[in-house]
Structure 1
């Protein structure tokens, strides 16, 4: 009987934990279900590679001092952290949403200028996604800089906002 009670408790605790994880992702200001699906198996992508709108990448980061930032990051990265630079082709409507699996700062640069974000949502209780940032840009090429990451890999999704 004692084993049954312990097993039942373990089952219920696991169910509550799974529900809590889902509830954590619901706390974002906008849905992140597309990112959750894309983050399941994103392709490995080195720093410097282009990012596609509508896709995710498992971005390989380098020590920040070797990242080759176009402009200094808006928030100075701490020593011992990681970063990357990537390019993206902004779609005709000019809106993109960049979502990250972990802690990192995101700067978007277009025409030589850092562009301020148009919206931000971050949640620490969602297991696969840490933050999502929206930008309103001009259609065409842009540079995306990631800095201050504590790990050498970061899943990144670039989408059009819903």
Structure 2
């Protein structure tokens, strides 16, 4: 009887894991197919780069304690993590969607103030995309800040929401 119970449990457990893996990128609240298309060919970028809406970059991050943030990150980064800043011109409609390949905190700063995100979706089962965050902003200049990354590289797609 013990073998039957253990075997049944193993079958049920593996079915649950398979279903979770199948959900993968579809588990995001919105499609991430544009990011999946952009990330493989994303050009290299350094902290201080200018981002273009509709494109992705592959950031080479710096030790977070060496990054000059416009305002302190809203979530204090842990020691030994990585970060970067970038400039972006927000389209007139004022909406941006930032999608990141790995875990990192991101802030958008406009007029010297951090702007709260309007929507967030994060999935740990989507290969190559960890989270996507939306912001409602004023058209014009903004600064994007990344901090708390555990690895020294981070792909970032800058899009308008679909």
How many angstroms does 1:72 deviate by?
Answer: 0.5
Tell me the residue number matched to 2:42: 42
How many angstroms does 1:155 deviate by?
Answer: 0.2
Aligned residue pairs: how many? 146
How many angstroms does 1:23 deviate by?
Answer: 2.3
| Structure 1 SS opposite 2:27 | coil
How many angstroms does 1:31 deviate by?
Answer: 0.3
Tell me the residue number matched to 1:153: 153
In 2, Cα distance between the equivalents of 1:109 and 1:158?
Answer: 15
**Which structure 2 segments of 5+ residues have no match?**
1-16
Q: Which 4+ stretches in 1 moved above 2 angstroms?
A: 19-23
Tell me the residue number matched to 1:33: 33
**Which structure 1 segments of 5+ residues have no match?**
1-15
Q: Tell me the TM-score normalised to structure 2 length.
A: 0.87
Residues 4-60 of structure 1 show CA distances to partners (whole Å, capped at 9, x for unaligned) of xxxxxxxxxxxx97x965521000000000000001110001110111100000011
| Structure 2 SS opposite 1:143 | strand
1:79 is aligned to 2:113: no
Root mean square deviation of aligned Cα: 1.4
